[in-house]
Homo-oligomer: A and B are copies of this chain.
Amino acid sequence: MTTISIIGSGNMAAAIGTRAAKHGHTVELMNRDTAKAQALADRIGNGATVGAFGARPKGDIVILAVLYTGAVEAVAHYGEALAGKIIVDITNPFNPDASGLVTAPGDSASQQIAAAAPASAKVVKAFNTIFGGVIAEDKPLDAFFAGGDAEAKARVAAFLESLDMRALDAGGLDTTHALEWAGILLVGLARNGAGFDLAFGAQAP
């Protein structure tokens, strides 16, 4: 039970925010368009609030639920307001036809976000290997995450577990690029017969 701040008010913000609220977290929504944030807060209910875009988030964990193309800009806009925060990068930096990435090894979206954020902020990548619809269904599922800071990862893992997800640590900040490729693979599977009601899991027979 903690406050989770979410930057963005699209499908992923709605799915994560709704699931978080259902599991007892207080959700704060932040969007350039305050009316959109308010509409999502009303939809999520359970005491969800709206914060000013660019103001210091109330939550220690800040879900950056914007498209990749706006992620670094949003983090730069927040600037020192994100000092000490755990930034959860959920972006999938796909090329236009989702056949590959616009990021590169050593320069993943998470690494770009970390470079734009205050040094005291820690970036953890999560949620990008689960389609939003599956998050919204609120059933048990596996959630992969990666990041460079052990304490931040432990906090995010606890948050994921609180959402009835099995949190699986994939490694350090370098590994976030592998998670980005997993997004491509997930879309590939979805388009080739598996459908979009899909998430990655780890099987241990």
Contact = CB atoms under 8 A, between A and B. Distances in A.
Interface residues of A, number: 41
Contacts of A191: 171
B203 A188 contact: no
Contacts of A203: 134, 141-142, 198-201
B189 A170 contact: yes
Nearest to A205: B139
A24 interface: no
A189 B168 contact: yes
B175 A99 contact: yes
Interface of A: 99-101, 105, 134, 137, 139-142, 144, 146, 168-171, 174-175, 177-179, 181-182, 184-185, 188-189, 191-195, 197-205
